[in-house]
Structure formats: C-alpha cells, structure tokens
C-alpha cells in the first residue's frame, strides 16, 4: 500500500472495500498494531502518534478486532474463547480461574450475538457462522472504543449479518464507538456504513459517504475484471437477495 492517508472520526462506521489482495487486511493489521507500517504513522487524536510501545499499548486497550479466519482455539469452549478477549486484564502466570465478573461479561457478549445457549460448546463443534459470532463476541466483550472487523460477516447468513450490523449501529449510537470493517458484501457496506473507503492497486480509489458510492466508484475499484471482481461487483444481484 502507498500514499494511504485516512482519518476515521469518532462514532462512525467505515466500510473498507476492494478486490482481493489490494491491502484491506494489511490496513486492519496496521491499525491494530500487528503489522507496523513500513513508512508513516498511525495517530490517535486522544494521545497523538503511536510511535512508541506505551502509546500502542494504550491504543490496544481500547481496540478489538474480529478476524477473518475467526482466530479461535478449537478445543476451548465458546465462553472460554470470549474470555480471551479480556486476557490483557489478567496476569499471564495466574493460575486462578477467570473472575466471576469476567464470566458475566463474556456471557453478555455471547448473548448479544445470540449464542448464549452454545456458551459451553467447544468451538470445534460449532458451525462456521457460530464460530464467526464467537469471534465477534470476543471483540464486543472488551467494550472497545475502536472495533476493527476483517470480513466479520463472511461466514454468517445475510439475515444474521444484518442483525449483527444493527447491533454495531446501536453500539455506535449508545457508546463512543468507532467501527472500521472490511466488507465484501457491497450492499451491506452501503446500508451499514456511514462512509466507504475503496482500495484499488494499493491506493485509496474512493473515500466518501455511502450514498456517494455509485456505479462509477464501483467501476473504479472493481473495474478490471478479476474472478473475485466478478463475484464482488454484482450489487444488483445482492440487492435482490436482500
């Protein structure tokens, strides 16, 4: 990625769209600190540029990420995976069980994604959609200020995706939450996001409100026919499905 300069205002939902391999996941991993930028800096209005470990630690305390491949531990139960979202609050050498207050928070997070009934099931026994929801619950349990999602609705059906999207909307409305999501469902991006960032060839090809994201913007981003472009582009078909 080159010459990417983006700012994300508080209490907004931004959708990042673009063809495969364009750098969407790289952008997410840069924002959550897993991949330090080769050049440039990530800056947060509250505490300035994140150019030292202490600043990053502050940022990470307020951040949660939903990963594309779920990043769950299969042999643990759903609730134990959600509890890992609070692992930064525990001493790594502690052998004590998770505190009751943490368990209650984890149960609430599972309830928010409609999985409370499967809390004690091992993740290996869950469907792809259920696993995705556990991943979302693990992010929500942190009560983050910045929620990053790399294809958070990829494995769930459209109805559930819309329900979870509504949940994100409510969270943005009632708490000081900022959401940045990589989405491949363009219609989902249009209905859920306040703003859409389109990446093409490692650069920002579109940055505007969801209502401004028209056919020409779509063409600029997905214009060159790639196999995934073909899959991504047919927004009309997607509308019919919804």
Partner 1 sequence: MRVDPRPNGIASPALTAILADGRRRQRNALAATIGGTAVIVGAFAYAGAFELHRYADALSTIGQLAADSLPPDFSRLPHWGRPLLETLAMSVAGTVLGAAAALPLGALAARNIVRQAILGGAARLFLNVLRSIPGLIWGVIFVAAVGFGPLPGILALATHSTGMLGKFFAETLEHVDPGPGDALRSIGVSRVGVLRFSILPQILPRLIDVTIYRWEHNLRAATTLGVVGVGGLGLEIVTAFHLFEYREASALIIVLLSLVTLINIVGARVRARLLGGL
Residues making contact with partner 1 (CB under 8 A): 32-34, 56-57, 60-61, 63-65, 67, 69-76, 80, 84-85, 87-88, 90, 92-93, 122, 124, 138, 142
Nearer to partner 1, 122 or 203 (CB): 122
Least Å from the CB of residue 219 to partner 1: 34
Q: Smallest distance, Å, CB 86 to partner 1?
A: 9
Identify which of residues 84 and 116 has a Cβ nearer to partner 1 in the complex. 84
- Which residues contact residue 179 at a Cβ distance below 8 angstroms, ignoring those fewer than 6 apart? 12, 13, 14, 146, 147, 149, 168, 171, 172
Measured from the CB atom, the residue of 25 and 187 that comes closer to partner 1 is 25
Q: How far is the CB of 37 from partner 1 (least distance, A)?
A: 15
d(CA 85, CA 172): 19
> Quick check: 136 and 164 in contact, CB under 8 A?
yes
- Rank residues 123 and 205 by Cβ distance to partner 1 and give the closer one: 123
**b/e string for 15-38 if b means 16 or more Cβ within 10 A?**
bbbbbeebbbbbbbbbbbbeeeee
Nearest distance, CB of residue 56 and partner 1, angstroms: 8
3-state secondary structure of 50: coil
Q: Which is nearer to partner 1, 47 or 231 (CB)?
A: 47
Q: How far is the CB of 33 from partner 1 (least distance, A)?
A: 6
What are the backbone dihedrals phi and psi of residue 16, each rounded to the nearest 5 degrees, phi first?
Answer: -105, 120
- CA of 216: how far to CAs of 17, 116, 124, in Å? 14, 43, 43
Q: Residues 133, 121: contact at Cβ < 8 Å?
A: no
Minimum Å gap between C-beta 232 and partner 1 is 24
Please say which residue, 67 or 213, places its beta carbon nearer to partner 1.
67
What SS3 state is found at 76? coil
């Amino acid at each position: 990625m080159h010459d990417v300069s983006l700012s994300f205002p508080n209490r907004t939902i931004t959708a990042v769209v673009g063809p495969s391999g364009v750098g969407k996941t790289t952008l997410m991993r840069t924002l959550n600190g897993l991949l330090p930028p080769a050049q440039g800096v990530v800056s947060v209005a509250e505490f300035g540029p994140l150019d030292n470990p202490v600043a990053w630690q502050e940022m990470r305390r307020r951040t949660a990420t939903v990963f594309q491949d779920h990043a769950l531990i299969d042999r643990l139960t759903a609730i134990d995976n959600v509890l890992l979202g609070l692992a930064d609050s525990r001493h790594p050498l502690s052998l004590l069980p998770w505190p009751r207050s943490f368990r209650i928070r984890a149960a609430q997070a599972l309830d928010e994604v409609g999985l409370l009934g499967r809390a004690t099931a091992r993740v290996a026994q869950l469907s792809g959609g259920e696993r995705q929801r556990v991943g979302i619950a693990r992010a929500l349990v942190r009560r983050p200020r910045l929620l990053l999602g790399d294809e958070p609705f990829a494995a769930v059906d459209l109805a559930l995706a819309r329900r979870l999207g509504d949940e994100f909307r409510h969270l943005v409305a009632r708490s000081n939450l900022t959401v940045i999501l990589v989405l491949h469902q363009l219609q989902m991006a249009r209905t859920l996001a306040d703003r859409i960032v389109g990446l093409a060839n490692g650069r920002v090809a579109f940055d505007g409100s969801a209502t401004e994201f028209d056919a020409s913007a779509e063409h600029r981003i997905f214009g060159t026919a790639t196999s995934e472009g073909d899959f991504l582009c047919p927004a009309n078909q997607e509308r019919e499905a919804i």
